[in-house]
Chain A
Amino acid sequence: GENVEQHPSTLSVQEGDSAVIKCTYSDSASNYFPWYKQELGKGPQLIIDIRSNVGEKKDQRIAVTLNKTAKHFSLHITETQPEDSAVYFCAVASNTDKLIFGTGTRLQVFP
């Protein structure tokens, strides 16, 4: 079955710096790659996603890049702010109707 690895597990940055989180997957049939942000005491919130026919997608300070050949995709957050502090999960899906989540990255942005 699909295996999703996510790195790093924790990431600390200064406010204004960039943060990058990377995920690798194993199933070449995977075709949908969302990123979720989960704040303490809340459910995961979809922040950006990308499909396999696109290499990059950007939404204001957040971008996702996908390398299908290498089977990895990354979340890029620029100009980080303290409110970006949360746990971020990548996920992978194919046509099996299931999201397989990565292990999560705890991002801390220090003022």
Chain B
Amino acid sequence: DTEVTQTPKHLVMGMTNKKSLKCEQHMGHRAMYWYKQKAKKPPELMFVYSYEKLSINESVPSRFSPECPNSSLLNLHLHALQPEDSALYLCASSPQLAPLEQFFGPGTRLTVL
């Protein structure tokens, strides 16, 4: 298996909802990333996990809460989001950190109403 999968593909949520995004890879990669991408912009790094530990948090608001339950799985828990949080959320993985090839999933298109 040589891909990163993300679910769901699309998500619409209200500002009071709680939802989660899921990312999975079975390539044995030990680093996993969350990015946010607005339309016509490059991906912006949010979080980095290395060996299941959070190593980088790019000053992301606490309404985004990452979790890495095991080496293959990465979640992003969402709570009390704002309409401006609507974006494409991308997950990526790489064999290790600094700096190696990152492989991206297809993303979750999030709309906050």
- B-binding residues in A (CB < 8 A): 31-32, 34, 36, 41-46, 49, 89, 93-99, 101-104
Q: Does B66 contact A (CB under 8 A)?
A: no
Q: Measured between alpha carbons, how far is A32 from B100 in the docked complex, in Å?
A: 8
B43 touches A97 (CB 8 A): no
Q: Does B98 contact A (CB under 8 A)?
A: yes
Q: Measured between alpha carbons, how far is A31 from B100 in the docked complex, in Å?
A: 10
Q: Does B69 contact A (CB under 8 A)?
A: no
Beyond A99-B45, A99-B102, 9 extra complex contacts between A and B, CB < 8 Å: A31-B99, A34-B101, A93-B98, A94-B99, A97-B48, A97-B97, A98-B45, A98-B56, A104-B40
Q: How large is the interface on B (under 10, 10 to 19, 20 to 34, 35 or more residues)?
A: 20 to 34
Chain A residues contacting B90 (CB-CB under 8 Å) are 43-44
Total A-B residue pairs with C-beta atoms closer than 8 Å? 55
17 A-B contacts (beta carbon < 8 Å): A34-B101, A34-B102, A36-B104, A42-B107, A43-B4, A43-B90, A43-B105, A46-B102, A96-B98, A97-B98, A98-B45, A98-B56, A99-B45, A99-B102, A102-B42, A104-B41, A104-B42
Q: Measured between alpha carbons, how far is A97 from B45 in the docked complex, in Å?
A: 11
Q: Measured between alpha carbons, how far is A45 from B40 in the docked complex, in Å?
A: 16
Nearest CB on B from A30, distance (A): 9
The B contact surface, by secondary structure, is: loop
Interface string of B35-62 (1 = CB under 8 A from A): 0000011110100101000011000000
Chain A residues contacting B41 (CB-CB under 8 Å) are 103-104
A99 touches B107 (CB 8 A): no
Q: Measured between alpha carbons, how far is A43 from B24 in the docked complex, in Å?
A: 14
A95 touches B105 (CB 8 A): no
